[in-house]
Amino acid sequence: MTDMTIRPDRAPLTVDVLAGPVSRLRKETAIRWFFFSAALVSIGISILIIWSLVNEAWTFISQVDWSVTWGETGWFPRRGLYDMPTLLVASLIVTIVAMFVAGPLGLGSAIYLSEYASRRTRSILKPVLEVLAGVPSVVLGFFALFFISPQLIERIGRNGWLVIGALIVLTYVALVAGWARNLMKREAGTPVSVQVQRILMLTLLVAGALVLVWWVNGVAETADTFAVKRSGQLAAAAVGVGILTIPLVASIAEDALASVPRELREASAGLGARKATTTTQVVLPAAVSGIVAAFIIGISRALGETMVVFMAGGAADASQFTSSPFDGGLTMTAGMASLATGTDSVVGEGLTFQSLYFVGMVLFLLTLFLNVVAGRFVNRVREKY
């Protein structure tokens, strides 16, 4: 109080005083630029990825004789045969089988953890998924080759798996049919766009079911080549990929379930619905976008998984075309990895090196598409609640 006369607020105030010292402004600006440039790195990396892919893939696209990329006997890059269907079909097989493992297990775990588990159970079981999520894919590759392949795939055998596969496919078809019937019942009063979406999705699922039936049937007729191999087969690799994908599907689905407001559950329970009814009739429909997103991201992950197929997929370097999971084969990713091993041979003759980038670009575009679609579904959940 005694020094009130020299308090700064007695001196006249100008804009310059309130502008603060230039040095501080400079420092803050410099720091801001530093953080900004760190954020720009992500754009830089994206551009570099796209540029590197396009750059090399373009050479391939413009120089390759397209007749060797379709309808050849298989993927033999070092002989100049780049049969894309070989890789694409193998990727498709691995992804489908993997999702038949990861989908039910991941979603089931998520529902149990989010709707049924007590706090205590949750605190014990959740870490299991978290540990599983951290297991490196080379470990799954090892496990697929030395356990899944001999103990699961080969022991049960081709015929056993065909029966199991048929059962799984039938269950799936039944689920789709039941769901479709439910949808049709509640059709009245929904907007046209939603109806169109539903019908599209339904068509997709039914088509999927038909393709699956056709495929299992086809495998049953043709796959007589099933033999005990020390190098594994696509099915073993696919199960390994599926195991890797479980925690991912579970965690995204669990997030989606957690975002369903508690009031919805309470309202349903308040009407006297049982827990299972509440879960299947109220919670799951409310979280359906997020669950779809979980599946799509799972598919994207399975499509991009490399090491498990590379180690346990039953083919090295090159592969014959096959549509049977009991054969050895190369997915897009495994094809890339096997091209790159064996040291310097990547920078080999012809378009071998460039084919690597062409496959990489196809994979990149596919996963990007899936991730963008999944992002849409996730956003839809966010908007709703």
- Secondary structure letter of residue 96 according to DSSP: H
Residue (99 or 250) nearer to other proteins, CB = 250
Residue (325 or 360) nearer to other proteins, CB = 360
Query: Could you tell me the smallest distance in angstroms from the CB atom of residue 69 to other proteins?
Result: 19
Task: Give the range of 159-167, 175-183, 258-266, 352-360 binding other proteins by CB under 8 A.
Answer: 352-360
Query: Could you tell me the smallest distance in angstroms from the CB atom of residue 357 to other proteins?
Result: 6
Query: Could you tell me the smallest distance in angstroms from the CB atom of residue 221 to other proteins?
Result: 30
Dig out the tokens for 162 from the structure: 């065909």
Strands 319-320 and 81-82: unpaired
**Total of chain residues touching other proteins, rule CB under 8 A:** 112
Which position among 58, 76, 81, 108 is part of the footprint of other proteins (CB under 8 A)?
108
Please give the residues from 138 up to 177 whose contact with other proteins meets the rule CB under 8 A.
138-143, 145-147
- Cα–Cα distance, 110 to 291 (Å, whole number): 10
Query: Could you tell me the smallest distance in angstroms from the CB atom of residue 199 to other proteins?
Result: 28
Residue (93 or 144) nearer to other proteins, CB = 144
CB 225 within 8 A of CB 327: yes
Task: Please give the backbone phi and psi of residue 231, each rounded to the nearest 5 degrees, phi first.
Answer: -100, 10
Residue (223 or 273) nearer to other proteins, CB = 273
Residue (224 or 344) nearer to other proteins, CB = 344
Task: Give the range of 135-143, 171-179, 196-204, 259-267 binding other proteins by CB under 8 A.
Answer: 135-143
Rounded (5°) CA angle 93-94-100:
90
Please give the residues from 35 up to 94 whose contact with other proteins meets the rule CB under 8 A.
35-36, 38-43, 45-46, 48-49, 52-53, 55-56
Please give the residues from 238 up to 297 whose contact with other proteins meets the rule CB under 8 A.
243, 246, 250, 272, 274-277, 279-280, 297
383 binds other proteins (CB under 8 A): no
Which position among 200, 210, 211, 372 is part of the footprint of other proteins (CB under 8 A)?
372
184, burial (CB in 10 Å: exposed 0-12, middle 13-18, buried 19+) = exposed
311 binds other proteins (CB under 8 A): yes
Residue (219 or 359) nearer to other proteins, CB = 359
CB 308 within 8 A of CB 241: yes
135 binds other proteins (CB under 8 A): yes
Residue (15 or 192) nearer to other proteins, CB = 15
- Cα–Cα distance, 143 to 140 (Å, whole number): 5
Rounded (5°) CA angle 355-356-361:
95
- Cα–Cα distance, 103 to 246 (Å, whole number): 7
What are the DSSP calls for 35-83, one per residue?
Answer: HHHHHHHHHHHHHHHHHHHHHHHHHHHHHS-GGGGSSSSEEEGGGTEE-
| H/E run at residue 320 | strand 319-320
Rounded (5°) CA angle 188-189-194:
95
Residues 6-35: x where in contact with other proteins by CB under 8 A, - otherwise, as a string: -xxxx-xxxxxxxxx---xx-xx--xx-xx
Q: Half-sphere exposure (CA, 13 Å, Cβ side) for 385?
A: 18
Residue (28 or 187) nearer to other proteins, CB = 28
Task: Give the range of 74-82, 132-140, 169-177, 282-290 binding other proteins by CB under 8 A.
Answer: 132-140
Whole-angstrom CA distances from 216 to 161, 202, 210, 223, 272 are: 10, 21, 10, 10, 43
Residue (89 or 241) nearer to other proteins, CB = 241
- Cα–Cα distance, 216 to 222 (Å, whole number): 10
Please give the residues from 109 up to 128 whose contact with other proteins meets the rule CB under 8 A.
109, 111-113, 115-116, 125, 127-128
- Cα–Cα distance, 298 to 38 (Å, whole number): 30
Please give the residues from 177 up to 236 whose contact with other proteins meets the rule CB under 8 A.
230-231
Task: Give the range of 167-175, 176-184, 259-267, 354-362 binding other proteins by CB under 8 A.
Answer: 354-362
